[in-house]
Structure 1
Amino acid sequence: MDLLEFEQKENSAITFKKEPIYPTMKNDFCAFKPLPPAEALEEQILIKSTAWPETPRLSSLIALEETSDPAHSTFTILPRKGGGEWHVGDQLEVLIEMRDSRGHAKKYGGDLLVPRLHSRSLGAGVAGQVVDHLNGSYSVAFPLLWEGDAEVEVLLDHSSEAISVQRKLNREQPDRVIFKSKFQSGSVSETTTCNICLRQDGRPQCNYTDLRSGEPWFCYKPKNLSCDTRMTHMRTGYKQVLSDEEKKLFQSNVNFEVFMKALGQANVTVLPQRQEQTRTNENTGKLGPSGYYYQGVWRSLDGTRVQQFDNYSATSQCLKGKTLHVFGDSTVRQWFEYFEALLPGYTKIDIPKPFVWDKANEILVMFRYHGNPFRNALLRVHQQRYVAHELDRLDGGPNTVVVLGIWAHFTTFPIELYIRRLQNIRKAVVRLLDRAPSTLVVIRTGTLQSITFSHLPVTCNGNWLSVQVDKVLRAIFKGLNVRWVEAWEMVQAHDLPNDLHPKRPIIKNMINVLLSHICPVRA
């Protein structure tokens, strides 16, 4: 894999017209050991790949009237090149112009915009490609892939100023998710704070860094117990790290996750494809979306022939004799739960490793959470395993499927942590494919979500944070013999709201893509 040739092709990324600034994370309580030269170089390249434009310093701490305002900002559908009507195979281009709350044009970029072209009546939708011109204007391109109506929507997810706050928090407050562990010996128990980034405050610390992989984890040592009496891991809450001024940048229905208005028409009518024209993006390998919805069904543009596994019979026929190992967070536990509901087999709930066994068809589906950092309510320490170790335990082979969905719990930490975790997992994937090349490895990408202060704090789960880890995920595994489920686009393009845990219609489409990788149609 040559990361020097890494292209920001994916829809979760925003293309920049000029080189942005990419400051790295530095503080005195969250440091990482030096890497071997090749991995250190890769880490620097990956850090650069997550670069985002800097926002100029405002005239006051936060001058709200100078920040991006969706009520004054607009998008415009540009006329078709060459004039005339729109046809399937054309490309629809949209210009976005950002303004502040005084109506003044913005002079710099860095906003996180989420565009889609869709038709509710047709159950159709596709994600747009954004180019940031770094002067307050943005371009979006949509391929026209279906006949009939097509409406443009543009969501201002985060203003550039809000992103500056999130970036600062990741550098200065990487411990804003609160983790604790219970230590117990006999009738004596104590609970202390734990983290990868544990502040040096004079208290002794217990070092639980994994000896094989070097994955770090620390807890403050209990006053009356030894470090080897640690029993449980839990997430107990989130720190309130935003000032009153900073909170103004994350106001629902004001400047955070707000749809923008069109200047002129927001929709077009698409006529049938011209005889002499080929479909834009269809199996061409060019920059563009990896797929789209039509009549509620995901259609791939990357060459994958997506089949419909609509019932137990079709699913069990595909999975007969196979073992699925699902590793990751709750976003792939949803997949496990889909199979749990579908397969009429025996289920054992042994958190964090439940499994479903369909004896009649010899189908085994297993799930295990990835290791720390993990925001589960409660896990026993002996139940925690790092994914790289689990992969090294597998024999692999033509009846083994590995699913990886590892991203959502890493957004609050320095990106170096996520890079190193994935480097370790990639090594294990390479070892698995070397000893058993017929093993199928499938990776689920990150997902857009909707954030509220009352549930998942924007400081810990904002979509800009998800963009960063999603870029790294795609780059780390680029060039390996793995398959992908494009969860990001499948959420962005659907009419259902963005959701960390997508609703069943989207999950069903994801499962259809997964099963299509497991049981591909032979040409």
Structure 2
Amino acid sequence: MTLFSLQRWQIISKITCTVTMFRSVLKYILSFVTLFGLIFLLRNITIGQNFRMSALYEFQNRIQSSNQSRSRLTLHDNHTLYPHWGQPLSPEEELEEGDLLDSIAWPQPPPGSAPPNLSRTSDPAHSLFTIVPSKNEQRWYVGDQLEVQVHLHDFEGRPKRYGGDLLLARLHSPKCKAGVAGQVLDHKNGLYSARFPLLWEGSAQVAVTMVHSSEAVAVLRRLRDKRPDRVFFVSLFRQGNHSQKMVCNMYLPQDKGPLCNYTDLHSGEPWYCYKPKMLSCDARINHAKGGYLKNIITKKEALLFKSGVNVKVPIRASTSDTINVLPPRKESGSQKPDPVKLATSGYYYQDSWRPLGGVTMRHFDKTSITQCLTKKLVYMYGDSTMRQWFEYLVAVVPELKEFNLQSPKKVGPFMAVDSTHNILLKYRCHGPPIRFSTVTASELRYIANELDGLAGGPNTVVALSIWSHFSTFPAEVYVRRLRHIRKAVVRLLDRAPGTAVVVRTANPQALEGDASLYNSDWFSLQLDAVLRAVFKGLDVMLVDAWQMCVAHRQPHNVHPPTAIVKNMVDMTLSYVCRDGTGKIV
């Protein structure tokens, strides 16, 4: 090889080596750039996620701080389980809701007392009540107030040191078929006061009942706020020869399958069903109660709900449970106690309800009912306790002929007409949640929507009852439903002044077996208080079903006996025909 060739080969070798090295360096640079870009991208994604999580955490903290400032549980706490909990509230609605929930706040057992040993819980058999002596040498007169002190003890006879028990009190006279509900005050130290207005002469006997211990109420509160699924619902979906039943509820966890959204477009009331695998959401044909979840409390907690032991058990008197009431003092005349001050709406005498304010009570037979309702349209919306009113009127007035609408028995809708006197009666159940057997999907109507469809006017009567089917849901759910109904009532009264609107309150019921876990009087009492507050100040009449049932001599029942229903209907008609001529004034 010549010298020139050798030099040429060396130059080429150096160039090749340089190119190879450049390619290697370039490869490393490209790898580094790619790796750097990937790291940068991942970092940005992480920062974005952290930012979103931080914002969500901050938002949840704001909610939690707001809730803790009120020391109460709200629906926000369940958003992680039920992200479709409902439409957001306006600031005014949120403030109202907070005030309503604060108004029904209930004393809780001290920390560390739950779940308790049964021996340290309230025992009605060891508890006592005492009639507080009068200031007039054991003389009581009509117009006075009677006070009773109740001392709660546990199963070992030790005095309770905190409150929160649910007690009901009644002053009654079997001879006179008289009765009045007492106002119970919780002193939050194991002592309670029950106060009664003295409204009739003669013998009066005190009855105090422990419905639930404070420890049982704590369990009920947890169930109400955390287990809205303990009553579940189903709907049948059908298309052609294929059908499938699916679980439905106001709230359903989304991680268990796709949902069909049946939220009402007008009111925003939520309702969902799990979607069938082979059918569309449009194939839903009905709604029904599915059943009750069992084993939702521990065996230890179940000891707090024993009928005849610590659920609706009478408390004994330490000495006598009876007083004799003398005629009114001459200086006081026939003046009666202030019903507002005593939180007493009325009382029974000879099984007839006597309100202590407002409308003058009249008693109606079939002739006077017909006279009052002539040329009137009566619309009844709600649960089965409102259906009782429809059934009572149809049974008492033969001229009211019920039309056969092919409706399921005890479900409706129902309609009755007296064509001679131009009377129309209609009943329709409220929208879900409704625990009736089977309701056609097309017949599921929300009360607010129905009210918006009424013309109203002086010849229109509207009666509402909605409470029992909300006992398994947080109180906020009931507040929201009543808010929608109240707005519809206001719209109705604005466009049609003179429309008579009557609202029936909740009532206590029998609590046998495990009924307390789903229909406790504590749930009903909380709903009752909310309902009264929501409709306060409106031009509507409240029929005080709670006191009318507590004061009566018959046992509690979710469907009160006919004697009580008659008084409720008479109270309603007394309001509808206040001038006694059948005209709404």
TM-score (norm 1): 0.93
Gapped regions of structure 1 (runs ≥ 5): 1-18
Deviations 1:265-304 (A, max 9, x none): 1000111111112556556643331100011110010232
Number of the residue aligned with 1:347: 402
Please state if 1:470 is matched with 2:528.
Answer: yes
Select 1:170's aligned residue among 217, 221, 224.
224
- Residues 1:492 and 1:280: Cα distance change in structure 2 (over 3 Å): farther
Letter in 2 for 1:54: Q
Q: Any idea what SS the aligned residue of 2:222 has?
A: helix
Q: Is this contact kept in 1: 2:122–2:155, CA < 8 A?
A: yes
Q: Report the Cα offset of residue 497 of structure 1.
A: 0.5
Q: Which structure has greater helix proportion?
A: 2
Matched, 1:191 2:245: yes
Pairing 1:510–2:565 present = no
SS at match of 1:417: helix
Residue 84 of structure 1: CA displacement? Answer: 4.0
Q: Partner of 1:10 in structure 2?
A: none
- Other-structure match for 1:495: 553
Give the partner amino acid of 1:184: R
Q: After superposition, where does 1:260-409 map in structure 2 within 5 Å?
A: 260-278=315-333, 281-282=336-337, 285-309=340-364, 311-344=365-398, 345-350=400-405, 351=407, 352-409=412-469
Structure 1 residue 92 displacement after superposition: 0.5
Partners of 1:142 and 1:386 in 2: CA distance: 39
Q: What displacement does 1:90 show? A: 0.9
* Equivalent pair of 1:91/1:280 in contact (CA under 8 Å): no
Residues 305 and 521 in structure 1, CA contact (< 8 A), matched pair in contact too: no
The question of whether the paired residues in 2 share the 8 Å contact of 1:90 and 1:279 is answered with no
**Post-superposition offset of 1:82:** 4.3
Note the C-alpha offset of 1:411: 1.0
2:132 to 68, 78, 81: 78
Q: Which residue of 1 aligns with 2:18?
A: none
What is the rounded CA distance, in whole Å, between the counterparts of 2:276 and 2:573 in structure 1?
48
Q: What aligned pairs does 1:60-79 form with structure 2 within 5 A after superposition?
A: 61-79=115-133
Aligned to 2:63: none
Aligned ranges 1:222-241 → 2 under 5 Å: 222-240=276-294, 241=296
Residue by residue, what CA displacement relative to the aligned partner does 1:71-90 show, whole Å, maximum 9, x if unpaired? Answer: 11111000012434111111
Change (3 A) 1:171 1:318: same
Give CA-to-partner distance per residue, 1:32-56, whole Å, 9 cap, x none.
3311111111111111111001112
Q: Is 1:20–1:52's contact at 8 Å kept on the other side of the alignment? A: no
Residue from 182, 185, 188 that aligns with 2:236: 182
Native 8 Å contact 1:283 1:303 kept in 2: no
Does structure 2 retain, via aligned residues, the 8 Å contact 1:179–1:195?
yes
Matched, 1:23 2:83: no
User: Secondary structure at 1:371's aligned position in 2?
Assistant: coil
1:213 is aligned to 267
Percent identity of paired positions between Structure 1 and Structure 2: 49
**1:346-405 alpha-carbon deviations (Å, 9 max, x no partner):** 212433321110111111110010001000110110011111110011111111000010
Indicate if the aligned counterparts of 2:86 and 2:268 stay in contact, CA closer than 8 A.
no
TM-score scaled to structure 2, two decimals?
A: 0.83
2:302 maps to which residue? 247
CA contact 1:74–1:262 (8 Å) conserved in 2: yes
Residues matched between the structures, number? 502
Q: Deviations over 1:206-227 (max 9, x none)?
A: 1111111100001101011011
Distance 1:133 1:266 in 2: 22
* RMSD (Å), alpha carbons: 1.7
Return 429-438 or 55-64, whichever deviates more. 55-64
Name the CA distance, whole Å, in 2 between partners of 1:249 and 1:134.
20
8 A Cα contact 2:259 2:273, kept in partner? yes
Aligned to 1:428: 488
Counterpart-to-counterpart distance in 2, 1:64 and 1:39: 41
Structure of greater Rg: 2
Give the structure 1 partner of residue 110 of structure 2. 56
Query: Residue 16 of structure 2 corresponds to which residue in structure 1?
Result: none
Relative contact order, higher structure (CA 8 A, sep 6+): 1
Query: In 2, Cα distance between the equivalents of 1:22 and 1:280?
Result: 42
How far 1:342 sits from its partner (Å)?
2.0
